[in-house]
Structure 1
Amino acid sequence: MSNETQGPDGTDRADRNDRSDRATRVAALRPAYQADLADGVDRFFAPRRTTCPWCRSDRLTTRLRTTDLLQHKPGRFVLDRCEACGHTFQNPALNETGLEFYYRDFYDGLGEQRMGGTFGGRTGMYRGRAESMLPHDPTPKNWLDVGTGHGHFCAAAREVLPGTTFDGLDFTDGVEIAEREGRVEHGHRGSFPELAPDLGARYDVVSMFHYLEHSADPDRELRAAHQAVRPGGHLLIEVPDPESRYARVLGRWWLPWLQPQHLHLVPVGNLRRRLTELGFTVVAEQHAEPHDPVDLLAAVWLALDHIAPREDAPWLPEPPGALRRGLRGAVLLAGAPVFVAATLLDRFAVRPLSHRLGLSNAYRLVARRE
C-alpha cells in the first residue's frame, strides 16, 4: 500500500474517512432518534390480536420472544403461532409509525451501503431464482419484481433471460436507485396493492422474493398479484419456511425470524391453498433450491454481536467510548474460528442434505394464473 493511501498510524485513509463520515452522520441523526424514543416504544405497536390473521382461530400460543438482533433498536417482539393452521405472526404487530422507525436506516440511509453490498454479491442465488421459471415460461416478455430493493435480482436475471424486460416495485427509494442504475426498466414506488389496479394484468411473471413476510396483510398482496399477472402468466414466491427444523433448534438466533421486520411467516400448505382459492394453480414447489446456507454462521454472528458491546448508532443515547469499542473488537475476533467452522458446516455438511433433514430455511412456489 502506498504512503498516499496510508495514514501515519498505518491505517487506510479511505477506511478512516468512511468511519469518520459515519460517525458524523450518526451524530447528526441522534437528536431525532432520541426524540422518537423519548416516550418509549409502546406507541409503535398496534393492539394485540386475539385471533389468527390467516384463519381467524383463537387458538394462539407464543412461539418466540426476542429483541432487534440486527440493528439493536429498543423494543421487544413476540411471535405467536396459530395452533389451528400453523401461521406464525408478530403479535402485537408494528403499526405504520413503528414500521417507519424500525425500517429507517436499515435498507437506506446509514444501512444503504452495507445492504447494497450484501445484496449485490448474491448473483448466483439471483440466477437460480430466474432459472426456476424456465420450465414454465422460458421466454417471458415482461417481469415485475415486487420488493425489488436496489434491483440486483433483475440485473442478474437479465443474464438468464436476455429477452425479458424487468420492472421493479418497492416502497423505498431503492427502486429509484435501481431505475437510475439501469437494473430495472421502470421503477414503481409505493404500495403494491394500491398500484396493482393500474398495472392491469400486464406481466407474464410477477415475483415476490422474501417480500410477503414483510407485509402487514399478505392476503391483500396476493390479491394484488392476481391483478398484475396476465391470464396464463405466473406468480413466483419465495419466503422463509417457519416449519424448518432450524427454526426450533436455533430459536431466537435463527436469522429468518428477522424481528421486527418479518410480520407473517406462512406455512407452505397455507400458501398453496390460498393461491388455489384466488385462481392460481401451483405448478412447482421447491425447498432445497431456495435454501440459503447461512443459518449456523448467522446464528453465531447474532449471538456474538448480541453479547459484544454495541457499535455506535443514533438510537443509543451516546457513542461508545474507546474501551467499549476495543472490547467489541476483541469479542468478534475471538469468535473468528467459530465463524469459519459454522461457514464450513453450512456450505458443505448441511446444504446437500438440507431438504432431506428438514432444515431448508425457505421454500419457493411457482403458480400459474388460470
Structure 2
Amino acid sequence: MSPTTSLHRKVAALRPAYQADLAEGLDRFFLPRRTTCSWCASPRLSEHIRTTDLVQHKPGVFVIDRCDDCGHSFQNPQLSPEGLEFYYRDCYDGLGEEATSKIFNGNGSTTSYRGRAASVARFAKPQRWLDVGTGHGHFCVEAKKVLPDTVFDGLDVSDGVEIAQREGRIDTSHRGFFPDLADTMPGQYDAVSMFHYLEHTIDPRAELAAAHEALAPGGHLVIDVPDPESRMGDVLGRWWICWFQPQHLNFITRRNIRRALEELGFTVVAVERRSPHIPADLVAALALWIGEKVPRGNAPWFAKTPSASRLRLRETLFRLAIPAFLVAYGIDRLIAPFARRTSLSNAYRIVARRN
C-alpha cells in the first residue's frame, strides 16, 4: 500500500467523528469572551490579530487581544476544553505525528536543544531535570550530551511522554497537567524546563507556581517562549508563525513574566534573546500564505475527499514555490545575526533560580 493510499484510508476512518463534532457547531469550542485582561484584569483591551487556522485549516476564527496597560496578549475568546481537544487532535499526534517528529528531531533542532541545556549548565549541574511539555523527549536526548550525569524526566498530556520513556529518551514519564501533578513531586528536581510550552497553557501563572513546587531550593527554571514584542509579529501580522492559532493561548512579555517569577520567590539570573531566536519567520510565513491560497489537501475535518486533479494541482503549486522557499530560507539565515541582537528576535529565554 502506498503512503498516499494509507493516508486516505486513515482520513476516511476519522472523517465521521470529525463531521459529527462539526455538526454540533463551533460555539461550544469557545469560552465566553473576556472583557478584562487575563493577566492584569485591566479592561483596556485592543484587538491585535484576527485569523483562521493557517496550519491545519480547521474551521473557526480566532482573535488575539492585547492589553493596553500591561502588554499581555491572549486568545479571546479562549478555547474551551472541548475546543482544545478538537483543535489539538491530529496536530502533534495522529495524522500530524510524523511531520511533527521530523521538525522536533531535525539537525537544527538538535543544536538548539544543546544550547538550551547549556543555558542552565552555566549556573549549575542539576542531578535531576524535569522537562515540561516534553512531547517525545527529543530535547532530553541532546541535553544528556551536555549534562551526561543528569537524569531527565518528562511531563506531557499526550502519550508521547510514555513513548519517550519506552524508547529510553527519558527516565520517568509523568502524564497529565503540571499544576495537577506538581504536589506529587515537591522539591524533587534541580531543574525544570518549559520550552515553547507556556504559550499553550490556559493559566501560565499556575504553571510557574507548579515549577516552584517541583523545584528544590536553589534549583533552576528555564523558559523559552515567543516574544510578543518582536517586530516580526507586527511586520508579518497573522502570517507570523509564532501566533500559531488556535494552539497558542497566551503571549507573555519579558517584564510580566519577570515580575511573576519574583513574586513567587524566584531570582532571575539570565534573560537571553540571541540563542532562542529561530531563523524561520519568512519561510514559515510564506508556507502559511501559500497553504492558504492553494487547494486544500485531504483531511477528515473537510466534508469530502478532494478530487485527484485538485490534489495534483496542490502538489504542483507547492513544487513551483520551491525557489521562493529557498529565497525566504536564505533571507532568514542572512538576517539571523542581526535579528538576534535586535527586536526582530522572535523568542526569548529566561533562567530563574528558586530562592
* CA RMSD across the alignment: 0.8
Is 1:62 matched up with 2:47? Answer: yes
1:135 to 122, 127, 140: 122
TM-score by length of 1: 0.94
2:218 to 223, 228, 232: 232
Is 1:25 matched up with 2:25? Answer: no
Please name the residue that 1:4 is paired with.
none
- Opposite residue 180 of structure 2, the aligned amino acid is E
3-state SS of 2:120 partner: coil
Is 1:334 matched up with 2:320? Answer: yes
Is 1:81 matched up with 2:85? Answer: no
- Deviation per residue, 1:119-148 (Å, 9 max, x gap): 1112111111111112111x2100000000
d(CA) in 2 for partners of 1:242, 1:219: 17
- Opposite residue 270 of structure 1, the aligned amino acid is N
d(CA) in 1 for partners of 2:176, 2:19: 28
Please name the residue that 1:98 is paired with.
83
TM-score by length of 2: 0.98
The percentage of aligned residue pairs carrying the same residue is 58
d(CA) in 2 for partners of 1:254, 1:316: 25
CA shift, 1:334, in A, is 2.0
3-state SS of 1:157 partner: helix
Is 1:45 matched up with 2:30? Answer: yes
CA shift, 1:297, in A, is 0.4
d(CA) in 2 for partners of 1:23, 1:259: 26
Q: How many residues align?
A: 353
d(CA) in 2 for partners of 1:265, 1:342: 26
3-state SS of 2:152 partner: strand
3-state SS of 2:121 partner: coil
- Opposite residue 136 of structure 1, the aligned amino acid is F
d(CA) in 1 for partners of 2:320, 2:251: 34
Is 1:308 matched up with 2:294? Answer: yes
Alignment map for 1:100-139 (pairs within 5 Å): 100-121=85-106, 122-137=109-124, 139=125
Is 1:352 matched up with 2:327? Answer: no
d(CA) in 1 for partners of 2:148, 2:4: 40
- Opposite residue 132 of structure 1, the aligned amino acid is S
d(CA) in 2 for partners of 1:296, 1:158: 32
d(CA) in 1 for partners of 2:228, 2:209: 22
Alignment map for 1:6-17 (pairs within 5 Å): 17=2
Say if 2:273 and 2:341, in contact at 8 Å, map to a contact too: no
Alignment map for 1:194-233 (pairs within 5 Å): 194-233=180-219
CA shift, 1:51, in A, is 0.3
d(CA) in 2 for partners of 1:160, 1:53: 38
- Deviation per residue, 1:164-216 (Å, 9 max, x gap): 00000000011011001100000000010000000111100000000000000
Say if 2:192 and 2:221, in contact at 8 Å, map to a contact too: yes
Is 1:287 matched up with 2:293? Answer: no
Please name the residue that 1:247 is paired with.
233
d(CA) in 1 for partners of 2:278, 2:122: 22
CA shift, 1:358, in A, is 1.2
CA shift, 1:330, in A, is 2.3
CA shift, 1:322, in A, is 1.6
d(CA) in 2 for partners of 1:180, 1:232: 31
d(CA) in 1 for partners of 2:305, 2:342: 44
CA shift, 1:21, in A, is 1.1
3-state SS of 2:350 partner: strand
Of 145-154 and 38-47, deviating more is 38-47
CA shift, 1:355, in A, is 3.1
Runs of 4+ aligned structure 1 residues displaced above 6 Å come to: none
CA shift, 1:39, in A, is 2.2
